[in-house]
Structure 1
Amino acid sequence: MTEVSSLTGRLLVATPALADPNFDRAVVLLLDHDEKGSLGVVLNRPTPVSVGDVLEGWAELTGEPGVVFQGGPVSLDSALGVAVIPGDSTERAPSPSSRLRSSRGDPIGWRRVHGAIGLVDLETPPELLAAALGSLRIFAGYSGWGPGQLEDELADGAWYVVESEPGDVSSPVPENLWRAVLRRQRSELAMIATYPDDPSLN
């Protein structure tokens, strides 16, 4: 079996041709991708549910809009926290709070996924992470692909793969994220951002 090049930390941006309604105009942050499969969260599917209604302790740490996002169609009864830690926390000088950091220098309760983006252990007392977090999003459910499944979808032209930016996780206007991510690309993808919501009306 050929080795899979990891796309962890990259964005999957749904192409206009993607027919699955779960992923219409979706922007997915890949949290894990290897030969065993892929796991990510949809960044632009806010729900009407307030974070305070389900995870009260974390509500003050989430940015606007302060709602739970639907991370995907899998395990909708489970919650995932994705947070950005400003700066490279592995190079910080020791501080009084250093006892709250792991041996790698990352805050306790936060596991680096890619760059400044990481997963939050929601069992951790929120106050232990409050000072370190730059932004936090709570997701209900996730998006998952079995071995080779995402590669097949990529070959079929279902997704564009682009670099993520830390600000993507906490976009204050998530409904504009699909166009915003495409618009910043230095390629023909920037033109796709103008694709009409309903091509039949064009």
Structure 2
Amino acid sequence: MQTSPNYLTHHFLIAMPHMADDRFDHSLIYLCDHSAEGAMGLVINQPSDLSLDDLLEQLAPELSGRTRQTVFNGGPVEPERGFVLHDGERRWESSAELGPLTLTTSQDILRAMACGEGPQQALITLGYAGWGAGQLEQELANNVWLSCPAEHHILFQLPSGERLNAAARTLGIDWTLLTSQAGHA
């Protein structure tokens, strides 16, 4: 009997302490999509030095100065491309429904956010994390990541510095007690 693959869309990936890639050290990733073709996610706990105001200075200077919302380093792929992960029913020029959330890549959402007309809860990133077919599955098998179902309050209500530990706690793990040292029996 054929079993269906266990894809992890709408899950968190928690970087293990022995993560060899510095770009993902201490990372918590929200998986927007995971299928046989690969996976795409956003790092949600690495704030950049930029704010929404900084982006608006370039895109719509007349709207800058209205919000200091943090922009996150979403991952190493296309770091110049913006993504807004958000809740709500409204759709924007370029939105993809992710089930419980929406991912928007068009500038109209940023303009609306500056005017107080955007989604109630939103996370802005530049760049994303991507995996080719089978790559994430191999990394999971090699214990590079832990996974757990994503929780809305961790995404949008906790300060970024608390998100990794909170996600690990949903698995009953204290991330701060994990070690990068491997033992031998």
Once residues 108 and 50 of structure 2 are traced to their aligned partners in structure 1, the CA distance between those partners, rounded to angstroms, is: 22
Structure 1 segments unaligned to the other structure (5+ residues): 86-105
Query: Over aligned residue pairs, what C-alpha RMSD do you find?
Result: 3.0
In structure 1, the residue matched to 2:91 is: 108
Identical positions, percent? 28
1:153 to 139, 148, 154: 139
Structure 2 segments unaligned to the other structure (5+ residues): none
User: Are the equivalent residues in 1 in contact too, given 2:12–2:167 (CA < 8 A)?
Assistant: no
Once residues 60 and 31 of structure 1 are traced to their aligned partners in structure 2, the CA distance between those partners, rounded to angstroms, is: 30
- Aligned partner letter, 2:80: D
Once residues 76 and 142 of structure 1 are traced to their aligned partners in structure 2, the CA distance between those partners, rounded to angstroms, is: 7
Once residues 64 and 132 of structure 2 are traced to their aligned partners in structure 1, the CA distance between those partners, rounded to angstroms, is: 33
How many aligned positions are there?
A: 172
2:126 to 133, 140, 143: 140
In structure 2, the residue matched to 1:43 is: 44
Structure 1 residues 78 and 180, CA, compared in 2 at 3 Å: closer, same or farther? Answer: same
TM-score (norm 2): 0.79
Moved more, 28-37 or 50-59: 50-59
User: Are the equivalent residues in 2 in contact too, given 1:111–1:120 (CA < 8 A)?
Assistant: yes
Residues 84-129 of structure 1 show CA distances to partners (whole Å, capped at 9, x for unaligned) of 22xxxxxxxxxxxxxxxxxxxx4121432132x2112423354399
TM-score (norm 1): 0.73
Once residues 178 and 28 of structure 1 are traced to their aligned partners in structure 2, the CA distance between those partners, rounded to angstroms, is: 9
Would you say 1:67 and 2:67 are equivalent positions? no
In structure 1, the residue matched to 2:159 is: 173
Moved more, 170-179 or 158-167: 170-179
Structure 1 residues 75 and 108, CA, compared in 2 at 3 Å: closer, same or farther? Answer: same
